[in-house]
Amino acid sequence: MSEVINFPEKKSKKENSKIGAVIILIISALVFLPFGASAIFESFFQKRNVSTFGSYDGHKITYEPGSKFYQATSNIAQSYQSAGYQVDDKMYYYILAQAFRQTILDYALTGEVKKSGYTVSKEAVNRAILPAFTDENGNFSQRIYNQVNQADIDKLKKNAEGQLTYSRYIDDVFATSGVNGQEKIRLYGVKHSEAEKAFLAKMGEEKHSFEIAAFNTDDYPESEAVEYGKNHADKFVKYNLSVITVDEESEAKSILKQINANEITFEDALSEKSQKYYSDADGKLSGGYTFQIESAIDNSDDLSKITELGTDTMSGIIKTKRGYSIFKGTADKVVADFSDAETIRVALAYMKQAEKGLIEEYYTKLAADFTSEAAIASFDKACEKFNIEKKDVLAFPVNYGNTDMYAKTSDVAEIASIANNASAYKTMFSLKMDEISAPFILGNKVIVAKCSGIQKDDVSNETDSMASSVYQADQTAMQNTVMASDKVVDKFFATYLDMMSAGKK
């Protein structure tokens, strides 16, 4: 049961060499150690109320002696300790999070096995626990066995039975091991042929390198925003308004009726009844620009009912995105002044949020001019003329989704998001040697790419590792599917934060 862990920084080469060992120890189900549960977390939980972190199919996941979560937490902590890690406050989150995930997977997988009617034989359990009673030569030792009390032996057998039940699912579905240790002979699970492994390995053999020029749309000039603002000045008129907002229309009607009957003032209704969804604590409308009011109301036809309000005049009930509102004018509107720095800032921010297409169009035209210059002169000279820093991208293969099966996509920040952009992949990898692309959009950049190299690596020795990568990918997909199930109630993060807060009191 593999899981990606962000390990804490290690300070010595000796410690670094043990990371792999930890991963091996914790990739199985609820990893069981021979006897006893670690007391590592006892002080952590004694300071706080025992909390339930979630559930799977009605099974609560609570840290309490005897529970699957308790066992998983203790054993994973011991695994880290055995590998040389110091288990402290910085490690608690990683251990508990992994134990939570493992507990859910154990419930899910063992549950499916039990539905099939499978039961673990006594012989299988005895074989599983045998290593706990062997001497230094690997032979069964009656002396060691007799030194262990029956309660611990029963616990060991129970753990082994749970492990074997879990493993039955993994073996049957994923074929984790071959017959008599021969990897090519698999009775159960997903099969793979030599041709399939070779085909998958070949998919990563061709790699392309590039030179790129990236135009950052975040650098959109203020002068362009000013021009846009002047052409759409109505969007940037600022209105001085107060607003009462409530969740139910019936309540809004009641408030309006009371105000009109002089039973309550608008200001009293603001302080006593209004939700502050659109206002500050004093009831002043937070987003007073026309475009902000437009985004808040449910029906654009109601806009004029607000923008035409005079000082001390009040609107009727207007449905907003978060309830029902009554607006009141408090001062005259302020016409947009595009010589004012704040107005320019607002216009620029609005364009970046609502008019990305126009910004991208601006840079696409600029990038097209760059492409023409690069074709006439050179890529380097075009970069110099347009004040663009050329980035060299080392060779990488098509690896949509950045799977672990192939080399990762480039770590050059300007094209990092290509891993999830099929269109960008097609554009870049369709280029012939020294060919320059047309501009294309990738994240917040407009890119022009030049193919600077095409290579084919020898992947003949990677077929076996490819089978291992596929196996890991299959298991990861299974785990993610289980964790996304409606049967999972995941309160882990919130519960952990609550417990950490409680521990500091």
pLDDT 10s digits, 74-99: 888 888 877 788 777 778 888 899 99
Give the mean model confidence (pLDDT) for residues 246-267.
91
* List of residues 6+ apart from 145 with CB closer than 8 A: 133, 153
Closest listed residue to residue 308, CA positions, set 287, 286, 293, 295: 293
Max mean pLDDT among 1-15, 265-279, 345-359 falls in 345-359
Please state, rounded to an integer, the average pLDDT across all residues of the chain. Answer: 83
Do 22 and 79 form a contact (C-beta atoms < 8 A)? yes
pLDDT 10s digits, 217-249: 999 999 999 999 999 999 999 999 999 999 999
Helices (H), 27-88: 42-46, 68-82
| pLDDT value of residue 54 | 94
Give the mean model confidence (pLDDT) for residues 193-217.
87
Amino acid, res. 6? N
| pLDDT value of residue 378 | 94
Q: In the structure, what pLDDT confidence band is assigned to residue 503 with cuts at 50, 70 and 90?
A: low
Give the mean model confidence (pLDDT) for residues 24-45.
47
pLDDT at residue 149 is higher than 50: yes
Task: Identify the residue with better confidence: 278 or 196.
Answer: 278
| pLDDT value of residue 401 | 83
Amino acid, res. 240? N
| pLDDT value of residue 40 | 60
Closest listed residue to residue 73, CA positions, set 49, 52, 50, 101: 101
| pLDDT value of residue 176 | 56
Q: In the structure, what pLDDT confidence band is assigned to residue 250 with cuts at 50, 70 and 90?
A: very high
The length of the chain, given as a count of residues: 505
Q: In the structure, what pLDDT confidence band is assigned to residue 186 with cuts at 50, 70 and 90?
A: low
What's the CA gap between 94 and 336, in Å, rounded? 52
Strand-pairing partners, residue 490, are 54
Radius of gyration for the alpha carbons in the chain, expressed in angstroms and rounded: 32
| pLDDT value of residue 133 | 87
